[in-house]
Amino acid sequence: MNTNTILAAAFAATASTGLIYADAHKGADEAKAPAEAKQDIVTIAAGAEDFSILVAAIKAADLVETLKGEGPFTVFAPNNAAFEALPEGTVVKLLEPENKEKLISILTYHVAPQQIVAEDIATMPLATVQGSEATVTLDGGAVMIDGAKVIQADIMASNGVIHVIDKVLLPSTGEESTE
């Protein structure tokens, strides 16, 4: 449980950080060594408007301190559009205190307990902090994770890397939906 909380926080932080870094460094070499990154995943995410829903989810899941931790983490961070594509009312419901465990499970499914930059990604099963494996594939040069496309890669943070994705990943739990 503590690991899941940490990974979820890492995911949220990474997602936000990625967009901020990408906007501020367009055209720069985004695959710099992690030691060059000065901000952690959560700080980066919190500074990016397009991660406001992810940051709210990280806070609701009490994963902030975890994702600000040492890492390294790889966060596949859904942007706001990815959350908005979920069925109406899903995000609001997930943010309710009684759904905290489900939110933690979803968020930590977006986090790997290691740093993986884009050039090292290959078709493979990927162990997540949540405990399940996600499936990473390459589709015509695009990196996909469980059907979500990486739309911005290698946002470097002091404690890992963020890859922005276009869909919220849902771990297999035997349940049909998040509602």
- Tell me the per-residue pLDDT of 62-94, one tens digit each, with 9 for 90 and over: 999 999 999 999 999 999 999 999 999 999 999
Of 179 and 94, the structure prediction assigns the larger pLDDT to 94
Domain boundaries, the chain: 2-165
Distance of CA 18 to the CA centre of its chain: 9
Cα–Cα distance for residue pair 82/126, rounded to 1 Å: 21
Site of tokens 């600000």? 68
Closest CA relative to residue 11, chosen from 59, 146, 85: 59
**What pairs with residue 73 in β-bridges?**
160
The tens digit of pLDDT for each residue in 155-176 reads 999 999 999 999 999 997 544 4
Q: Domain spanning 2-165: which superfamily?
A: FAS1 domain (2.30.180.10)
Cα–Cα distance for residue pair 167/69, rounded to 1 Å: 25
Lowest mean pLDDT among 9-23, 48-62, 142-156: 9-23
Would you say how long the chain is, in residues? 179
Note the helical H segments in the chain: 2-24, 41-46, 52-60, 64-67, 80-84, 90-94, 100-109
